[in-house]
Each structure stands twice: as structure tokens, then as C-alpha cells.
Amino acid sequence: MSTTPTDTQVSMRAFVKLAQLLEAAPNSRNQTFFSKNAIQLAVDLIAERKPDLDRMSALALRPSADNDMLVVEFGEGIDPNDTGMLLISRGGALATALDENTSAVVQDVSKDAVLGLDRSLMKYASAAVIPTRIVYGRDLLLIFLHPTADYFDPVTMQLLDIIALQTANAIQKHQLVKAIRLDDDRVLQVHNESRKLLSRALHDGPAQNMAALTMRANFARRMLDQDIERAKQELMDIEKLARETTKTIRYMLFTMRPLVLETRGLKPALMNLAEKIKTTYGQEVFISIAPNLPLTQNTDINTILFYIAEEAVINAQKHAAAQNIFISVYAEEADVVLEVSDDGVGLNIGQITENYDQRGSLGMVNMRERAELINGVFNVDSIIHEGTTISVRVPIKEFEEEAA
């Protein structure tokens, strides 16, 4: 009685092993891990199906950066260092398989435009070329070789296609998980930066003022028995400082959660922002919003544009020594444009962008990344001693699709 496994058993085993491979992908493993395991799995499974024949040899190739060559990533039964096959021309059945994303059988390796040129492959009669399309990275090309002609029958090709497809799934899952973890790290970084900024703002503003109020109240109490007029003046100063502190706290609460943005939209929220900046810091902010803007019910778009405007205004108010700050929102061609400009000291754009992630402030990075969340294009133009303009262009279709 034959002990050779049936095609169904081999196929089932392929799915089980590939499922295990799919889950065994910690961050430290790269794409070579998957191509190596895919090839070894394929060679083992086909050897079980055809135990009386020699084992296959195989190569895993990736297109080079310029896409003109194929780079050998891993070999089974073939040592690329010994054969000189570190780079392979992109041509013959290899190019056809990649360009058309279709598996191919090479019935005579010696006649292939690329494989037939390498003398180390002359011992092989047939080959199977299996492309693996990777959505989030460079494609993978698996080449299986065997000294027997007609070795790659339809069932064998079907199994190799299954392995290639599931390998692509494994690689893409690995890349997506890695990207999600990077995004999570970035969100945590931004969250920590926001907490530091809030902590600094509380320390430099309300906390300092509260400490001053405590000391001045103590001084006023002692003056009541010694100099009543001095005590009255001190109480008036305390009242003034308390009002300023209240304004600062209210402004901080407004920027943390601008309810007017949620209830009335972007224009009233920006008008309210300008009013509070004027009240709190004495800084003039002029608002210009075109009447022909497309309407949107997408609170994410409004919120992101508001926070970009708010951060740009605060940066100008704190660092630019600007007399005036201007916020404009208008439609231009296929975009809605938000601009925040000032007449301050200007910025050295090159100096700011160089090693920006190591500067301890993520303001520009935050604004750029927020713009990207709504498919916006972020830009900064600045001239020293003349001022700065920060702009975000958002496709109108983003507004119209959400409003529909």
C-alpha cells in the first residue's frame, strides 16, 4: 500500500504550515524570513508529493531599487555566492511573470533568455516561475528548478501558487502590524508631547499666577493693620491678576475642546479663537473666510483645520514678534485652502526642518501629519524679517463626499 500523501493532504498541510508562518512574525523578522520559509516549505511539501524524485532547488528574487535587475534574496540547493547569481537580469520568463503577475513553467531552462545564460543552472531541465505581488513593498519572485523535464505539472503549480499567495499575505500582515505599531508609537509620542506642552503652559501661566496670588494675598493681609491704602491697592492688583489667570485658563479649556467647533462649525470657531487670543494675549488676529466654501459635516476636517490654525497662531504669537496675524480660508481650483500668515521675524526653514525630530518640539511635524490625515498638503513659506505663511490645501472632494 502506497504511503505517498495525496494532493489534498499535501494541500491541507500547506495551509496549516502557512497559517503557522503567518502568525510567527515578530517585529525583528524581515521579509527574507518569509521568503526563506516559503521556499523551504514548498520544497518539503513537493518532496512529500514526489518522494521518488530529487528535491527541487529554488531561489527567491526581489526587483532592485531601479527595477532593472533582480536581487537574489535566498537560495535552496543553490548558493548564490558560488554561482555568481547575486544579481540577475530582468528578462525572459522572469520579466513576463513579474509584469503580468502570472506563474509560468519553463520547459527548457537552457532556452530561457536569462536562466539559460547561467552555467550553474545547466543541470536543470525545467523551472517554475511564481510571482508574489506585495502591496506594501517590493514584489517577490520565487523560482523552482528541477533536473527532470515536465516536473512542474498542474497540481504542483497549484500548490506553489498557494504557497506564494499565502506568503504574500504573511508579508503584508507583518508589514501592516509593524506600521500600526509605528503609528501607535507616534500617537504616544504626540500624546506625551501634548502633555508636556500643557504642563509647561500650566506651569508658566496659571501655576505661577496662583503662587503670586498666594504671596500677594498674604502681603495684603499684613498690610491691613499697617497701611490700609497699600492693602487696598494690593487687593486691586490681586483682583487684576486673578482675572488674567481666569482668562488664561478659559483659553486653555477652549483650545482643548472648542464646543463652538462641534456645534456651529469652523468659521465661528476661528472667530472665537481670534477673540480669545486678543482677550488673553492682546494679539490681533484677523479672520477672512470666503463665502463660497463647500459645506461639510465632517467634524474631523473642521477639527484638524482648526487645530492647525490654532497651533500656527500660537507659534506666531509666541515666537514671531508679529504685530498682526491673518487667518484665511478660501476655495481655489479643486482645493480648500487654510492660510495662517504673520508679519513677524520669519523663520529659517532649513534650520527648522533639519533634524526636527530631535529638537524637542513637534509643532511643525504635528501640523503636517494632521494635514495628511485629511489628504491635505502642508506647506511653510517664510522670509526673514518679513513674516511666515503656513498653508494647508485640502481637496474639495473630501468636503463634498462627506457632505453628500
Q: Following DSSP, what letter does each residue of 348-404 receive, concatenated?
A: -HHHHHTTGGGSS--HHHHHHHHHHHTT-EEEEEEETTTEEEEEEEEEHHHHHHHH-
> Distance between CA 393 and CA 20 in Å, rounded?
45
- 3-class secondary structure, 187: helix
What domains, with CATH codes, occur in the chain?
Answer: 7-182 (3.30.450.40), 265-404 (3.30.565.10)
Most confident residue range from 28-37, 124-133, 136-145: 124-133
pLDDT greater than 90 at residue 356:
no
**pLDDT for residue 28:** 46
Q: Which of 44-48, 125-129, 142-146, 293-297 has the lowest mean pLDDT?
A: 293-297
Q: In what order do the strands lie in the sheet with 284-289?
A: 284-289, 324-332, 335-342, 387-395, 377-383
> Distance between CA 105 and CA 127 in Å, rounded?
6
> Distance between CA 49 and CA 85 in Å, rounded?
29
pLDDT greater than 50 at residue 360:
no
> Distance between CA 222 and CA 320 in Å, rounded?
42
Q: Which residue has the higher pLDDT, 215 or 11?
A: 215
Beta bridge partners of 327: 287, 340
> Distance between CA 358 and CA 352 in Å, rounded?
11
**pLDDT for residue 11:** 56
User: In 3D, which of 223, 216, 219 has the Cα closest to residue 237?
Assistant: 216
Asked whether the beta carbons of 149 and 97 are under 8 A apart, the reply is no
**pLDDT for residue 184:** 64
Predicted TM-score (pTM) above 0.85: no
pLDDT, one tens digit per residue, over 257-273 is 566 676 777 888 888 88
Q: What is the mean pLDDT of residues 128-141?
A: 78
Give per-residue burial for 359-381: e unless 16+ CB within 10 Å, then b.
eeebbbbbbbebbeebebebebe
Residue 167 phi, psi dihedral angles, 5° rounding: -65, -40
